[in-house]
């Protein structure tokens, strides 16, 4: 699938054995790059075979991990990618050991209130 669907905007990730590659920072970077590869191919100058091309438009150093994220109405520590001209990414670690991230089109941000909620 080359174009994002609504279900791609928010992603919950959980790993049985956490490692540096499963940290909030790395999961957020991977999610942002996934959306960029799928939705912004033309803007990034990628050909139709972009899956074979590395398109790491966003890197770990672009993550700001000093932000608050709203989960169940309360602010918790989180991270964001606010450097890309096309998308905004935000996420946090969950109490059960998972990570939740959202990657949203920058053009739509004024219409969106970014908050997360957990379910039992």
Query: Residue ranges of the domains in the chain?
Result: 6-111
Whether pLDDT at 37 is above 90? no
Q: How far apart are the first and last CA of the chain?
A: 30
Q: What is the overall mean pLDDT for the chain?
A: 85
Mean pLDDT of 62-84: 96
Q: What is the structure's pLDDT at 3?
A: 47
DSSP H/E element including 25: helix 24-39
pLDDT higher at 46 or 82: 82
- pLDDT per position as a tens digit, 59-72: 888 999 999 999 99
- pLDDT per position as a tens digit, 50-60: 555 555 678 88
6: three-class secondary structure by DSSP: helix
Long-range contacts of 15-23 (CB under 8 A, 24+ apart): 15/97, 18/97, 22/99, 23/99
Q: What is the structure's pLDDT at 1?
A: 45
């Amino acid at each position: 699938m080359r174009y994002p669907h609504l279900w791609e905007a928010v992603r919950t990730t959980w790993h049985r054995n956490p490692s540096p590659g499963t940290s909030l920072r790395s999961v957020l970077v991977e999610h942002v790059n996934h959306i960029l590869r799928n939705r912004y191919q033309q803007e990034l100058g990628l050909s139709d075979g972009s899956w074979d091309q590395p398109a790491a438009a966003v890197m770990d150093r672009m993550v700001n991990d000093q932000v608050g994220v709203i989960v169940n109405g309360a602010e918790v520590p989180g991270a964001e990618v606010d450097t890309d001209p096309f998308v905004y990414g935000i996420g946090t670690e969950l109490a059960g050991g998972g990570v939740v991230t959202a990657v949203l089109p920058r053009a739509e941000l004024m219409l969106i209130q970014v908050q997360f909620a957990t379910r039992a």
